[in-house]
Structure 1
Amino acid sequence: MNPELDRSNKVSHLSILNNLSSSRSTGCLEIAYGSTKWNLFLKFGQLLSVDCSVQSLDQLIHRLRQLGCDVAAKAVNITAENSENLLAENLVRQEIDRLTMQGLLDSIQSSQISTEVTKEALESLLWLKEGHYKWNQEGLTPRLAAKNSESWLDLSKMIEYYQQRLQVWQKYITIVQSPHQRPYLTHHRFLEQPVSCGTLSPKAWTQIAQLMRGISLRDLARFLKQDELKIVQLLIPYIRENVICLREPSLPFKHLPLIPEPDLPQIPSLDEIRSLEPGFSKPISETKIYKIACIDDSPIILQEMERILGKNSKYTLTKIEDPIKASALIFRLKPDLILMDITMPDINGYKLCHLFRNSAAFEKTPIIMVTGNKGLIDKARARMVGATDYLTKPFTEAELLALVEKYLV
């Protein structure tokens, strides 16, 4: 019987897990996030298993078919999901054990599927921003305690691997927020006519398009026997061109955490900077410090912006070179003014500007488009998506400062 979770504890998941691994701990870490719970079982700091209360026997069926275990897939007791006699967090594990005992899965297949369940549960756990936890030293079941050491997983290496994967997921966070989102064609005609906005061949496109009937990105990847990140990368151009739309995860997966936004580096306050100066003893008078964000894929332009604006203590500049990460960073930073290039890879300045203007948080924030295009059409289009003003490259120091001061001072 697991004790109640201590609701006073907030999860700092990486530090907790790394401490448990380095101290070679044995037991069960229980973590709660809303109605979702995880049980993480360790022995001598190594990972035995992770169970998550959000799971589905349909996904077990997909895994079995992916392994070629069609007989076992047909034998899954799908009605067990509605049974009150099975604990939710043990549902898939119990079904795997039942299929193994009936000889429908051999020990290798059973271990392989159990490992995949553990990996997916661990990845969703590492996406938590906060939660509540309790450590139970007596939490190992006899079956897990007797598990062969050859099947243990190195927790520290698993954390490192999924943190690296998270960084890739975060590149697409403005488009994809969960691997459980469900891709749909925006119009049935895309099944019948060639679509040229992506890199898929007509045959591959038809195969994928016919599968997009309510299954998640993760399940789509399983059907195609591909890594889900690769599938997302292939579908991104079609999503951007509105050939594919993504709907929210279905139950119960909508209760899992979404891909977390990347953390912004901490910018020291003016008081903290001045406190390092020799002889500092008095607080600085209240002077408005304006936060400016510059989004440009050119390091040279970013350096020039920093050189010019850095001369004035009224401004702090945040440089953003990756336009994919820009929206998440901007929503966290909440700058007083945004300088933004138009022509950028993956997502252009027009789309980013439109995205910001659709948010109440940036309804009145000055957005200045910075570009080498001098045409009236470009300026008109910038105005249409909500740009406040327009700065043409190459620009002088005086031109940039005058435009910034026009909207901030």
Structure 2
Amino acid sequence: MHGNLHEIDIRSILQLISLGQRTGQLLVEACFDTQDQLTNYNTAKNHQSLNTEKQFWFVFFLNGEIIYCQQGDTNLSRIDDYLHHYRIEKQLNEQQLASLGSENAPEYGYLWALLERNIIEPKIAHRIIHRLVDETLFDLLSLHQGTFIFRQGATLTPQLTSLEIPPLVYKITQQIQEWKQLYPHIQSAEQLPILADMVKLESSLPAETINKLQHWADGKKTLRQLARHLNRDILTVAKAIYPYVEQGWLQIVYSTANTSPLIRANTAIEHQHQRRVVCIDDTKTVCETVESILTSQGYEAISLTNSLEAINLIFKLQPDLILCDIAMPDLDGYEICSMLRHSRTFQNIPIIILTANDKFIDRVRATMVGATDYLTKPFGDTELLMLVEKYITVTPSLRKSTICNID
């Protein structure tokens, strides 16, 4: 099994491996040019560009479950960060570390070397593996372009643990959705938090809290490193500091030395990508109203008035959010929503139901078919914008005015 990620996403690949109870390894590769932009698939496939950087990940499976994830040609620093949390300072000597270079997965070999020498206990190794799998899947499920290949066959040995894919993917997908709500204040796990306004901090927070912030927000540790040192997931750490960032007491900055090509490329794309909203409604005036409101705020708004044609077109359009009227001929909004939710492509795309009937039963039916939210017609600019802004974030440089962000 192989291909590129604009044809099938990571979530679907993992589901296939889980359902097929496959054993083997998945290699995912993303290619970046020197301008920190993701290259197109042809460049990644043919390697014709001389100014490209690659980043890759390995995921190892046993009978459809994940036993380990490794990010590229790792330097073992991920595990060292977790050892810091457990206050384990004794590590391997240079000769022992050098011997890991010949192994298929040096990180995994590093963990087993620590276990064999009783430097860590099995339960600690298990926790570290779980955290490393979580953070790798967080990056992979956020990836939209690249290539992949799954090789069926032998996997890593010996086996320490295995993790079921469906609950992992569900959890990480939810984290990614919440992570997007922190944008633009927090954009990347590779950003560095630094203290910005000590005067306001000292006047607003207790000394103990300030001391903790000074220790962690030293401008040297990325958010991801903080998460490892604290043994927390990246979302928990980001949400904990978000109020301080929002107040301007902390700043989140990029470090060129620490920022991976993937993070820089995804951030660049985020700044360029105009969020696309598709409105499915057989009433032209409603479509025109939606287009007028959204395009004025930097969104790309596309109207579809034929519900049958909309089903075919929407797969080509790949919108970031869908507005769908209930009362339409041929297919109503409930049927369209239900059909889209049965496709892996649209399982996590926000779908907002539009209706002139604000009745309890309508809301219940909308929820049952998988609608994300509900908007009653007629609606004004503020109502529509606030609801759209709740689920997708338009690039700040594309905005023409400030929109209130609802949590």
Task: Give the TM-score category using the shorter length.
Answer: 0.5 to 0.7
Q: Deviations over 1:300-332 (max 9, x none)?
A: 9x968x51679xxxxxx9543375656x24679
SS at match of 1:307: coil
Classify 1:43/1:93 alpha carbon distance in 2 versus 1 (closer, same or farther; 3 Å): closer
1:194 aligns to 2:202 (yes or no):
yes
Q: 1:175: which partner in 2?
A: 185
Is 1:101 matched with 2:111?
A: no
What SS does structure 1 have at the residue aligned with 2:378?
A: helix
The CA deviation string for residues 15-38 of structure 1, in whole angstroms up to 9 with x for no partner, is 111111112222211110121111
Query: Following TM superposition, by how much is the alpha carbon of 1:225 offset from its aligned partner in structure 2, in angstroms?
Result: 5.0
Aligned-residue offset at 1:128: 0.6
Q: 1:147-200: CA deviations, max 9, x gaps?
A: 26xx2111111000101111111110211111221111236x459x6142xxx5
Shift of 1:270: 4.7
Structure 1 residue 273, shift from structure 2 partner: 2.0
The answer to whether the 8 Å contact 2:24/2:60 transfers is: yes
Q: TM-score, normalised by structure 2?
A: 0.60
Q: Partners of 2:278 and 2:142 in 1: how far apart? A: 20
> 1:60–1:78: structure 2 CA closer, same or farther, 3 Å change rule?
farther
Q: Residue 178 and residue 271 in structure 1: after superposition, are their counterparts in 2 closer, same or farther (change >3 A)? A: closer
Give how far 1:129 is off: 1.0
Counterpart check, 1:207 vs 2:180: no
1:131 matched to which residue of 2?
Answer: 146
Q: Secondary structure, in 3 states, of the residue corresponding to 2:194?
A: strand
Matches within 5 A, 1:75-114: 75-77=91-93, 86=101, 90-114=105-129
Q: Of 387, 391, 399, which residue of structure 2 is paired with 1:321?
A: 387
- For residue 59 of structure 2, the aligned residue among 35, 40, 50 is 40
Structure 1 equivalent of residue 86 of structure 2: 67
Contact 1:174 1:324 in 2 (8 A): no
For the 8 Å contact 1:53–1:89, the answer to whether it is kept is: no
* Separation of aligned partners in 2, 1:19 and 1:243: 45
Q: Contact between 1:50 and 1:117, CA under 8 Å: does it hold in 2? A: yes
CA contact (8 A) 1:7 1:133 kept: yes
- Alignment-mate amino acid for residue 152 of structure 1: S
The higher-RCO structure (CA 8 Å, 6+ apart) is 2
Matches within 5 A, 1:10-409: 10-34=7-31, 35-53=54-72, 55-68=74-87, 70=88, 73-77=89-93, 86=101, 90-141=105-156, 143=157, 147=159, 151-186=161-196, 189-190=198-199, 194-196=202-204, 201-213=206-218, 214-249=220-255, 251=257, 253-257=259-263, 258=266, 266-268=278-280, 270=303, 272-273=305-306, 306-307=377-378, 318-321=384-387, 328-329=393-394
Any gaps of 5 or more consecutive residues in structure 2?
Answer: 32-53, 281-301, 310-327, 331-357, 359-373
Per-residue CA deviation, residues 112-138 of structure 1 (Å, 9 max, x unaligned), is 322322222122111111210112112
Amino acid at match of 2:25: C
Which deviations, in whole Å up to 9, do the C-alpha atoms of 1:250-290 show, x marking residues without a partner?
Answer: 645523445897986543455652877989xxxxxxxxxxx
Supply the distance in 1 between the matched residues of 2:94 and 2:132 (Cα, whole angstroms). Answer: 17
Tell me: CA distance 1:225–1:190, structure 2 relative to 1, closer, same or farther (3 Å): farther
Residue identity matched to 2:66: L
Could you tell me how far apart the structure 2 residues matched to 1:319 and 1:78 are?
58
Contact 1:30 1:135 survives alignment (8 Å):
yes
Q: CA deviation at 1:98?
A: 2.1
Mind listing any 5+ residue stretches in structure 1 that lack a counterpart? 280-299, 311-316, 347-409
CA distance in 2 between partners of 1:122 and 1:78 (Å): 30
Q: Which amino acid aligns with 2:183?
A: I
Instruction: Give the letter for the 2:10 counterpart.
Output: H
Relative distance call for 1:201 and 1:132 in structure 2 (3 A) is same
Q: CA deviation at 1:207?
A: 1.6
Structure 1 partner of 2:299 = none
Read off the aligned partner of 2:251 and give its amino acid letter.
C
Q: Following the alignment from structure 1 to structure 2, what is the Cα–Cα distance between the partners of residues 19 and 6?
A: 14
1:61/1:76 contact within 8 Å kept = no
SS in 2 for 1:25: coil
Q: 2:243 is paired with a residue of what secondary structure? A: helix
Q: Find the aligned partners of 1:112 and 1:303 in 2 and give their Cα distance.
A: 43
* Structure 1 Cα separation of the partners of residues 100 and 232 of structure 2: 36
TM-score, structure 1 normalization: 0.59
Give the Cα separation in 2 of the matches to 1:51 and 1:345: 36
Alignment-derived partner of residue 382 in structure 1: none
Give the counterpart letter for 2:72 in structure 1: S
SS of 2:21's equivalent in the other structure is: coil
Q: Which has the larger radius of gyration?
A: 1
Distance in structure 1 (CA, Å) of the matches to 2:114 and 2:66: 24
